[in-house]
Structure 1
């Protein structure tokens, strides 16, 4: 009971922003429960964390996901695993779709049945996640079949990406062609796990074409609208009132993907590319291009690398915040921006807010992302607001109203700002 179980992630390749170890073993569907000393006279609120990793990577065994400081604040914390990549989300003829989504549901059902034994209250469950995990909790919030399993949602950098089953089938058939097998259960059962992972890596390597397809259609592996679990995109479900009884906090970092365009080599190349070409290549609509540049003058002034990074950040993550707020209407919704510029990168990049949320600035591997002296006062504020939301259903700043948008901006100093996502509005349809 003191060690993490096997993970669906088998290895990590290249640079990883969050330390997420891979643990070998066949039984990969595990929950990890962190609980305070139990008091039989009280039951505690529960947070269930869904890790990110683009739906093909990530691990719930990260030291950054340690629940000890939520325990300190009287919150039972559960981190869950789920099948990843093609195994969890790929189209296979004869297999159920959304297998990873089904794993989320099974884990939440486990929590409902068992969390009371760890001091938790199954009627006070908040689901939370970051990146693909943030997208996961938004998918669950819009899913009719999941509504009884949780009572609040906290989404960080949520990549809302329910794709079309037709694209999933096209990708699944192309994977089978690479494997030289029929695209069926029997066909795939003749392929080793290692070979599937190798094929998946080749098929999802981030070329420009893959990047543009991801911006326009979502990732090649992830939740799909299958007509059984998922009937429509989450934002459409929100407009129908699904999940409107559940409080929601959502937000992003300011420069989610700026680091991919911030290296000196990329910056030197981008200097030679006209701004108009950059906007066209990254699929910014023609009629929105000048308005977008006008709304992001501060970013434009910092060079084309920062502009490319902000466009990617907005298209993939940040534009969904005002879309979801609008779709939820009067439902209780709070928004935030994490804007503190990392002491390493000089901007608020992807994953930077996670150790602040968990209040683990004393944990390992923070330097490469956060720099040498991340401010504990900011971690105190981010974590305390999250704990208040999980415990009381209110993070402590004004909620969104149809006539007034106010966001908490996490920087030094912390402030509340009206229409804090105004710079992405030119990208709205």
Structure 2
């Protein structure tokens, strides 16, 4: 049973739906569509709606082509030009803390419309959730003459501005915003936290399997030259703008190699990321509490304990090592850093691999695609505990375990082990491997 619900916001009148006590407003544009002369340009704020905006259907996604034929997370591609949009899920309450969610997808793909990012459990627990769409791949991270760099990050900054201006109308508190994301989304959380441009736009941060990723500008230019040659266009703004986003996305996925998957992403040296995130974290965002962690096996399914101990896995070098490095960079941060490790092994995927923690964080074990990824009986009590920890953090609480400073023996919440061991996990500051 559902009914329409209307909100009067600074952005204009927005019409959504109420279902089982949860209000949903889908695909609300926060910027003008990045088409025509606005393609490869800084995002332009969307003006107030002249007519009530119908927010009852999913918004368009930047993803036109998924990262692979089969992805762990259901990632629908929705056609349309208004890809710079937000979807709000809210309880019937006011003054609620706000979780702004940034999806993953290797900076090339992913969808904010995934059912794994459904904010209904957060709404049940008094949190407003905002899922954000931003530009991806070439459109989001090209390095071209006369084009601003890091357009995907600039989109997110503008989306955060929209949230601060409008979220009170949906029941959220604009002074209690947590920005959170997973994989590439988690990396962009750390990028925003390390950026001078992020200051004042959010009050808390959560990075799931984020890593400290940046791509050298020269490498991006070289890749775009090869992409242009493959597509028969010059690697310029005009040349690439002549190609449909779908063509560019297919070209990128076809051209990148298994040994060089991070071909596009945030670059360093502009006003958004003047220095690498690992350096910027020691300067900026010191007043923002941070919760971050990784899964035990990430891209190393059927994890070998000896390989984990040696710290030679992709999991350790790309993901888990970022946790103590980030904690060390923020050692003097007044707000504190807390670590977690997700260790529950999916029987369907052969370990605590990349993405399997998401249905637990969102407490959506009944979502489409979960049985295929987690097996028929994922532990509901684990989802309840993880989700409760996240709700508490977003609401302003201090995690029950100790702060991390990047040293051997740093405490970390371990999910998926007996309760007695739950607060005694340790991260090796060199490899990021679990020392327990």
TM range (shorter): 0.7 to 0.9
User: 1:136-147, aligned counterparts within 5 Å?
Assistant: 136-147=188-199
The DSSP-based 3-state class of the residue aligned with 1:17 is: coil
CA shift for structure 1 position 243: 0.6
The DSSP-based 3-state class of the residue aligned with 1:251 is: strand
The DSSP-based 3-state class of the residue aligned with 1:125 is: strand
Match of 2:410?
Answer: 405
Asked whether the equivalents of residues 340 and 413 of structure 2 are also in contact (C-alpha less than 8 Å), the reply is yes
The DSSP-based 3-state class of the residue aligned with 1:15 is: coil
Task: Supply the distance in 2 between the matched residues of 1:399 and 1:195 (Cα, whole angstroms).
Answer: 46
Rate the CA distance shift 1:408–1:308 in 2: closer, same or farther, 3 A: closer
Q: Within the alignment, does 1:253 sit opposite 2:305 as a pair?
A: no
CA shift for structure 1 position 395: 2.8
Question: Which residue, out of 92, 99, 124, partners 1:37?
Answer: 92
**Higher relative contact order, structure no. (Cα contacts within 8 Å, ≥ 6 residues apart):** 1
Which runs of no fewer than 5 residues in structure 1 stay unpaired? 212-218, 263-295, 301-305
Rate the CA distance shift 1:159–1:422 in 2: closer, same or farther, 3 A: closer
The DSSP-based 3-state class of the residue aligned with 1:97 is: coil
C-alpha offsets along residues 234-281 of structure 1, whole Å, 9 cap, x if unaligned? 1101223x111000000000000013xx6xxxxxxxxxxxxxxxxxxx
Question: Which residue, out of 306, 321, 331, partners 1:299?
Answer: 306
CA shift for structure 1 position 402: 6.5
Higher percent of residues as helix: 1
Q: Within the alignment, does 1:6 sit opposite 2:13 as a pair?
A: no
Question: Which residue, out of 421, 424, 427, partners 1:417?
Answer: 424
Rate the CA distance shift 1:402–1:342 in 2: closer, same or farther, 3 A: closer
Q: Within the alignment, does 1:26 sit opposite 2:81 as a pair?
A: yes
C-alpha offsets along residues 271-312 of structure 1, whole Å, 9 cap, x if unaligned? xxxxxxxxxxxxxxxxxxxxxxxxx98334xxxxx8999611
Match of 1:364?
Answer: 368
Task: Supply the distance in 2 between the matched residues of 1:307 and 1:394 (Cα, whole angstroms).
Answer: 30
Length-normalised TM-score, structure 1 = 0.82
Over aligned residues, Cα RMSD in angstroms? Answer: 2.2
Asked whether the equivalents of residues 257 and 309 of structure 1 are also in contact (C-alpha less than 8 Å), the reply is no
Length-normalised TM-score, structure 2 = 0.81
Match of 2:386?
Answer: 382
The DSSP-based 3-state class of the residue aligned with 1:35 is: strand
Q: Within the alignment, does 1:233 sit opposite 2:276 as a pair?
A: yes
Asked whether the equivalents of residues 93 and 126 of structure 2 are also in contact (C-alpha less than 8 Å), the reply is no
Rate the CA distance shift 1:116–1:297 in 2: closer, same or farther, 3 A: closer
The DSSP-based 3-state class of the residue aligned with 1:137 is: helix
Asked whether the equivalents of residues 258 and 308 of structure 1 are also in contact (C-alpha less than 8 Å), the reply is no
Task: Supply the distance in 2 between the matched residues of 1:57 and 1:386 (Cα, whole angstroms).
Answer: 25
Match of 1:65?
Answer: 117
CA shift for structure 1 position 159: 2.8
Rate the CA distance shift 1:132–1:425 in 2: closer, same or farther, 3 A: closer
Q: Within the alignment, does 1:204 sit opposite 2:246 as a pair?
A: no
Task: Supply the distance in 2 between the matched residues of 1:140 and 1:325 (Cα, whole angstroms).
Answer: 16
The DSSP-based 3-state class of the residue aligned with 2:91 is: coil
Asked whether the equivalents of residues 324 and 427 of structure 2 are also in contact (C-alpha less than 8 Å), the reply is no
The DSSP-based 3-state class of the residue aligned with 2:347 is: coil
Task: Supply the distance in 2 between the matched residues of 1:10 and 1:90 (Cα, whole angstroms).
Answer: 17
